[in-house]
Amino acid sequence: MKAKIQHAELSPKTKQFLDTPPRMLIGNEWVKSLSNKTFDTVNPADGKVILQIPLADKRDIDAAVVAARHAFKTTWKDGVSPTQRAELLWDLARLMERDLQVFMELETLDNGKPLSKSKYDVLGAINHLKYYAGWVTKINGSTVPVGSNKLVYTKKEALGVVGLIVPWNFPLMISMWKLAPALACGNCCILKPSELTPLSALYLGHLIIEAGFPAGVVNIVTGEGSPAGEAICHHMDVDMVSFTGSTVVGRKIMEAAAQSNLKKISLELGGKSPNVIFDDADLEKVFENLQWSSFYNTGQECTLGSRIYVQQSIFDKTVANLKEKAEKMTMGNGFDDHDLGPMISEKQLSNVMDYIDSGKKEGAVLVCGGKRIFANLRDGYFLEPTIFTSQSDGLRIVKEEIFGPVVVILPFNDFDDAILKANNSSYGLAAAVWTQDLSKAHNFANKVDAGTVWVNGYDLFDAAVPFGGFKQSGNGKEMGVNAIDQFTKEKAVWIVL
């Protein structure tokens, strides 16, 4: 049975949602799983069960695909004009603004992040939705000159039915990174939130119905990667899968696409991003930024600068500054709006503790942290911000994505050494450089192998700017016009005059 929700600070609308037995959204109907099985979603701040959520299997995915395909063929593709589609997206954005507080509370309850950080995420999701609402009426083809007796034009068309598989670290925001452009392009969607954080997606479903989206255009299924996620990826009537998560799962999705209908895929995968600090940087700005580029979201973010490379002459000073700030950061229940919330689960905390043990055994120097926090947080999944230093790039904690509040600070000598070390990774998601030398900054951006490069800043995002990684950090781009390209197919039409 679910635990009684005790948070007096929850708004009446949030309480009402939590008091309603959760269902999946298929064809604008709220349904149980066909197996009638459920799973628990847990508050990571106290380890207590919030709700039992329907556990989807292959049959539920089949039903969602049928609903989506029917909507695409009968209603959404030709029966709703681009202007009407844009109006629906705008209406949804306005409803999300109206219920901002509900989304904030659900994100904090389900994910554990501080309430102010949840607000930032929800506002980011709304901004993405508005951005792509503006794109709907501007998805154009082109004419191609091929001679005076022929006319060739191209048109961009919706793919059809797309599967959107979302992680737990930014549940609503990443859902909207995928859902907004997919809908703007005219696709029908099957959204599968992480089984660890399904609440905000399910609440979004209520607003999708309220906004007036036709039945089957958006379907929301809840369940685990196996079998629900696998069923989406192997389905012969799903035209694309957009996935954010681990590189290991990304490989399985590529295999599933090859083994099924060669569906289009977009993968935003892991990262081990280098944060490179030269001795000519504005250290005041660096130190203002460094703790958040290291530990934001309790380190559960693929772009964070978990490899910090510092020029030798300022190495000790930088280590001391980050240590001082890390030790002052507060952790606790997200509703109390501490600096950091808990890890997402006991399993994730255990994985991170294994990495910390590995760092110690392989010879890294533990500067601070490294311990699970108990005391009044005994039942939650809290871990101290942790800093290692190392002279070696070969350690597991330097090479592998940890996905927790753990960073490694390493020294470098000169520009060439910095580039060599920054690129010494199987990942290529993001990178940052801190320097007041404009030539050096541009040269670094040119030579570092990463999909996003920040200069004298970190973790900067905008709906208009493409985001995606190189190497084993994935393929395809989210945001900007690139996402329009991802969720459409281009057709060439020849007319003989």
E strands, 92-181, where?
142-144, 150-158, 161-165
Q: Per residue of the chain (497 residues), what is the pLDDT tens digit?
A: 233 344 448 999 999 999 999 999 999 999 999 999 999 999 999 999 999 999 999 999 999 999 999 999 999 999 999 999 999 999 999 999 999 999 999 999 999 999 999 999 999 999 999 999 999 999 999 999 999 999 999 999 999 999 999 999 999 999 999 999 999 999 999 999 999 999 999 999 999 999 999 999 999 999 999 999 999 999 999 999 999 999 999 999 999 999 999 999 999 999 999 999 999 999 999 999 999 999 999 999 999 999 999 999 999 999 999 999 999 999 999 999 999 999 999 999 999 999 999 999 999 999 999 999 875 656 899 999 999 999 999 999 999 999 999 999 999 999 999 999 999 999 999 999 999 999 999 999 999 999 999 999 999 999 999 999 999 999 999 999 999 999 999 999 999 99
Domain-by-domain residue ranges, the chain?
12-269+473-494, 274-463
3-state secondary structure of 137: helix
Contacts of 146 (CB under 8 A, 6+ apart): 152
Name residue, tokens 């004009």: 81
Check: CB of residue 32 under 8 Å from CB of residue 197: no
Check: CB of residue 55 under 8 Å from CB of residue 221: no
Instruction: Give the C-alpha distances (Å, rounded to integers) separating 491 from 237, 481, 488.
Output: 20, 18, 10
State how far the Cα of 482 lies from the Cα of 108, in Å rounded to an integer.
Answer: 31
End-to-end CA distance of the chain: 71
Residue type, 124: G
State how far the Cα of 376 lies from the Cα of 365, in Å rounded to an integer.
Answer: 29
Q: Which of 187, 194, 174, 228 is nearest to 80 (CA)?
A: 187
| CATH classification for the domain delimited by 274-463, as one of 3.50.50.60, 3.40.50.300, 3.40.50.720, 3.40.309.10 | 3.40.309.10
Looking at residue 2, what is its pLDDT? 32
Give the fold, CATH level 3, of 12-269+473-494. Aldehyde Dehydrogenase; Chain A, domain 1 (3.40.605)
Positions marked catalytic? 268
Q: Which of 269, 304, 330 is nearest to 406 (CA)?
A: 304
- The pTM (predicted TM-score) of the whole model is 0.95
User: How many whole angstroms from its chain centre is CA 434?
Assistant: 25
E strands, 295-445, where?
307-311, 365-368, 386-389, 406-412, 427-428, 430-434
Beta-bridge partners for 311: 412
For residue 166, report the phi and psi dihedrals to the nearest 5 degrees: -115, 140
Contacts of 86 (CB under 8 A, 6+ apart): 133, 134, 136, 137, 184
